[in-house]
Amino acid sequence: MSAHPIRSYALLFASMAVVGSYVALSKPLVAALPVFLLAWLRFGIGGLAMLRQTLPQPGEHISRATWRALFLQSFFGNFLFSICMLYGVSKTSATAAGVILATLPAMVALQSRVILGERLAPRNLAAVLLAVAGIATLGLSKGEAGSNSLAGNLLLIGAVACEAAYVVIGKRVSAHLPPLRVSALINLVGLLLMTPFGLWQATSFNFASVPASMWWLLLFYALGASVFSVWLWMSGLRGVPANHAGVFTIALPLASSAVGVIFLGETLHLPHFIAFGCAVAGVLLVAWPGKRG
């Protein structure tokens, strides 16, 4: 363990803050670019940035079972997640998106029970119930805070389910390949899956209509999703036990809400704070290490 855990904590927090920021900032992006084209460009930029990790590695052998797991990881965690997340963000607020995506630890615990047969501890069950309560608060609220589209919130719940499947499947893949190699390969698979849809939308899209600021935002989104968040997370994990790291997913709704309020002009109301409180409590219940770590 690192002699400087504060630095590691800062890196983990920064990683989740980057995730929350690019989730919120994808809202203006989907207003400027069609969803499939946006996702395709994101994977393309990520592939160029991780070209070294994407190319075949000397002496490496990847089994058929590992390739199958990588495909499933990318199909759920990259392809379907991007579609659900981008369409969902376009129909709801950045704040609501951050709160819903913060239920990821609870969804991972639930899927680990269903798929891997892991025991669902009482506090994990409580976290699942809190996640449901937080999402229900957003869905049932009225007025400006409740103007979030039900379809958008459901799509974001689908995105969380896809990302949880990515994490659960990754528990097996990570035993065979380094994390950045896994990230590069699933990005490549995501690019291949998205290419037909991206090309379809690119043929009829007027690229000249997109302002320069959106291209810079796209660059941040692509590098943040594919490179920055992964590098920060892996660097932070070197200095703290892995079971401490999940606590820092609270930075995701914090960053998403901050970007929504400061840059996108959104307003927080009581239902947002209730849902946010449920999300934070759920994260702490799932991720806070027990006495035995």
**Tokens 């609870």 sit at which residue?**
106
Q: What is the DSSP letter of 174?
A: T
CB atoms within 10 A of CB 114: 10
Residue type, 281: A
Q: Residue 140 — very low, low, confident or very high, per pLDDT cuts 50/70/90?
A: low
Joined tokens for residue 203: 């043929």
| 73 neighbors 173 (Cβ within 8 angstroms) | yes
User: For residue 146, is pLDDT > 50?
Assistant: no
Of all residues in the chain, the percent with pLDDT exceeding 90 is 34
- How far apart CA 66 and CA 16 sit, in angstroms, is 27
Of all residues in the chain, the percent with pLDDT exceeding 70 is 90
Question: Alpha-carbon Rg of the chain, whole angstroms?
Answer: 19
| 101 neighbors 90 (Cβ within 8 angstroms) | no
| 88 neighbors 95 (Cβ within 8 angstroms) | no
- How far apart CA 59 and CA 10 sit, in angstroms, is 35
Residue type, 282: G
User: For residue 143, is pLDDT > 70?
Assistant: no
**Number of residues that make up the chain:** 293
CA distance between the termini of the chain = 14
User: For residue 2, is pLDDT > 60?
Assistant: no
- How far apart CA 50 and CA 48 sit, in angstroms, is 5
Region 170-198: mean pLDDT is 85
Give the start-end residues of each E strand in the chain: none
CA torsion 46→223→98→168, rounded to 10°?
A: 40
Region 2-27: mean pLDDT is 84
Element (H, E) at 122: helix 122-140
